[in-house]
Amino acid sequence: MPALMVNERAAQLTAARLPFVHATVVRAQEPTSARAGDDAVILADGSIEGFVGGVCAETSVRVAALDALKDGTSLLLRVLPEDTEAFPETPGARIAINPCHSGGAVEIFLRPVLPRPLVAVQGTTPIGTAIRELAVYLDFEVAEGGFAGVTAAIVAGLGRDEEAALRGALDASVPFVALVASHKRAAVVLDAMQLTDLERARIRTHPGLDIGARTPKEIALSILAEIVREMRTGGLAAPASPAAPAAELLSIGPPVPLEMEAPRRVVDPVCGMTVMVRPETPHAVVDGMDHWYCCPGCLRKHAA
């Protein structure tokens, strides 16, 4: 896949709110098939679109990319042959030794691209407006309609259409549901909705960190600060990403599944590399046991 197509694919995946890693070769030492500037996208199921090296380098990239996708941290990966000098142990750097490597070395920068968290805001009140504006500044994406894939829903209608919005957020399993209201008025609203105990416990009334907020912007700051805290320390995450239109997903490259699972990891019994079990991964049954290999060469050695 040419670099231009990789960039288009990355833009498509971003628009579809699908996580991926953009891998770029920043240095290549011969003999190696990769060249500086080669790039690819790695999806959450381990599939690679583009080119960052041969099968052995690709295996190391796949493993490292899925780890980067898991923690959201960029990584410099250096793929080296055996018996090479050590790579400096520094934060943000990782080394992979490939026994089956052709002899060259490549350095690949892995940048995870994750969907921005979705926040739904009900109400055109000054507080609702302030939340929308500040949310965009904080790199949230404000949901245009509905609650699919929403991380947090803030109901700030101040008496207008609150019950319908709360019901919609609960039915969509939004993990963070907040009602902007005093404790007294919130109790009246929730009583009228005839909620179950579990549903009522899911709604946060009078939300926000206690910073003595008074103005709409200060209240917005306190509420979004609570959401950020829950995301960073409380494990708050969206239940699922909303589906993108099928035509959009199919417009460039192969179709993208809306829900992807990371493949199982196993160890190549010949060279000791960690490999992903995928349909194209070399496989053999030896002595009644399944084995997967980094490349056909290791498979032939083990079979022999």
Q: Can you read off the two tokens belonging to residue 21?
A: 């890693």
User: Could you tell me the end-to-end alpha-carbon distance of the chain, in angstroms, rounded to an integer?
Assistant: 35
What's the CA gap between 118 and 285, in Å, rounded? Answer: 46
Residue 75: pLDDT band with limits 50, 70, 90: very high
What's the CA gap between 194 and 199, in Å, rounded? Answer: 10
Instruction: Compute the average pLDDT of residues 148-174.
Output: 93
pLDDT at 110 over 70: yes
Helix (H, G, I), strand (E, B) or coil at 157: coil
Give the residue with greater pLDDT, 104 vs 16: 16
Asked whether the beta carbons of 97 and 80 are under 8 A apart, the reply is yes
Which residue ranges form the domains of the chain, and what is each CATH number? Answer: 3-113 (no CATH), 118-233 (3.40.50.720), 265-303 (no CATH)
Q: Can you read off the two tokens belonging to residue 170?
A: 């609960």
pLDDT at 155 over 70: yes
For residue 278, with 0-12 CB atoms within 10 Å meaning exposed, 13-18 middle and 19 or more buried, which class applies?
Answer: middle
Instruction: Compute the average pLDDT of residues 37-65.
Output: 89
Task: Give tens-digit pLDDT for 273-304.
Answer: 777 787 778 888 887 788 877 777 777 778 77
What percent of the chain is modeled with pLDDT above 90? 50
Backbone dihedral angles phi then psi of residue 190, each to the nearest 5 degrees: -70, -35
Q: What integer pLDDT is reported at residue 244 of this predicted model? A: 42
Least confident of 46-55, 92-101, 223-232: 92-101
